[in-house]
Structure 1
């Protein structure tokens, strides 16, 4: 995987680095396939507890590489519409896969996040921004729909419909400070502290029960898909019983009495 670096660190934390710094980690066909390969590894590795995604160099991801997209349109042998649809489906599948990873995903956003790169930020479960981070949903300004790679579904759920419409319809960029104010990111930190701060958050999550964390992500994601409080509570009840049967609750109680950190079972 030349365009995506995947490193497994201590405490079950995996660091995924988008690695085309000379092009602000812009997306190419190789990038897409490398990302799918990395997601295959992460989805099947139960020892990975938390995934951190960031960009190499001075940017997170500038969206699709326009030079590369011109080559794809000219060289496609299935016709532009058919070729474009296949490419779009392959790219947007990455956002769905990141959103559905069993592990919590934290985006550590450095510099620009635009287009499908912005969608990748939205697909994460948590977002921390460097002071240099900036965000662009500018498709409407170049003749395309701003709803791309899941943005139309993810963005309004994170910041509300009115703010989403303003940013998508105008296509204006916004900075890290505004992203924090509207609730897109949970915090903004100096650039040099971005990765350390994100790793601290990942470590705090990884210290909890692996099964409990996984079920928390699953139950919240499922609750967003249903319209009934009764159904959400029924799902929560079943999840709590499953978690209680793992033995992690007993270990947490023993650890509390013994005034030590809990030693939860690993998958």
Structure 2
């Protein structure tokens, strides 16, 4: 795919790389369309148990490409207003595509994640940052709103309302250390160790039951939209019963623990 690479660095792990380093992996349509397709491809690949997303070069994603935005597909005959709507729908669907991936998605944030790049990082299930990572909600700096591609939904849920309001309204940079402190990322590691750290985490996740992992991911995201604890607990209970009653995973876990070996979940 142009500007996007899919690799298999370890068994069960897919690495999806935004590969336009000369533009800091900016969100040109020529990049985002194949990126969405790559996410859909790895989601359908049943050999993949966890996905790592990163950027080539020194940046994760620098947001909108203002100089070379690329061509929007399927706009022949449309007016400017309709083209604008199609543009936002396409970019919004990239964020939705990350959420729809069956497997857990780990963002290996290797450098600046600015504007839409911050949105991509937040759409991942887990974020691990290198010491060079930097986050900015850039829309406000450009005379626009800071809310785009789900940012005003995702950021408050990641770090709390007050911090999200401050970061989005001030347009200031958040470095890797602060990002770890406020919970924007799980942890910060040296740049040369970033991908190996993410692969180790991906392999640990991949060792567990497929439905157990996939349903846990769904339940975590569902909890952010739940109207009440009572409603969400009902969903959680059904998910737990589904795996418990349709697999022998629990019995295998108990047996493996007694025998002093890792469990082998057949699902």
TM-score (norm 2): 0.94
Q: In the alignment, is the contact (CA less than 8 A) between 1:77 and 1:83 conserved in 2?
A: no
State the shift of 1:76 in Å.
8.0
SS in 1 for 2:225: coil
Q: In the alignment, is the contact (CA less than 8 A) between 2:129 and 2:189 conserved in 1?
A: yes
Residue by residue over 1:93-147, the C-alpha shift from the partner in whole angstroms, topping out at 9 and shown as x without a partner, is 1101102222111000011111111100000111000000001111112121111
Q: In the alignment, is the contact (CA less than 8 A) between 1:3 and 1:34 conserved in 2?
A: yes
SS in 1 for 2:68: helix
Residue by residue over 1:13-61, the C-alpha shift from the partner in whole angstroms, topping out at 9 and shown as x without a partner, is 1100110011111121211210121122122222211110011111101
Aligned to 1:240: 240
Unaligned runs of 5+ residues in structure 1 are none
User: Is 1:139 aligned to 2:139, yes or no?
Assistant: yes
SS in 1 for 2:202: helix
Q: In the alignment, is the contact (CA less than 8 A) between 1:76 and 1:83 conserved in 2?
A: no
Q: 1:46, 1:219 → 2: CA distance? A: 21
CA RMSD of aligned residues (A): 1.7
Q: 1:57, 1:144 → 2: CA distance? A: 28
Q: 2:183, 2:100 → 1: CA distance? A: 21
Q: 1:174, 1:218 → 2: CA distance? A: 29
Aligned to 1:264: 265
TM-score (norm 1): 0.94
Aligned residues: 264
Aligned to 1:193: 193
SS in 2 for 1:81: helix
Unaligned runs of 5+ residues in structure 2 are none
User: Is 1:57 aligned to 2:72, yes or no?
Assistant: no
State the shift of 1:69 in Å.
3.5
Aligned to 2:254: 253
Aligned to 2:20: 20
Give the alignment of 1:120-139 within 5 angstroms. 120-139=120-139
Structure 1 segments (4+ residues) deviating >4 Å: none
Aligned to 1:3: 3
Q: In the alignment, is the contact (CA less than 8 A) between 1:11 and 1:206 conserved in 2?
A: no
Q: 2:229, 2:262 → 1: CA distance? A: 34
State the shift of 1:259 in Å.
0.9
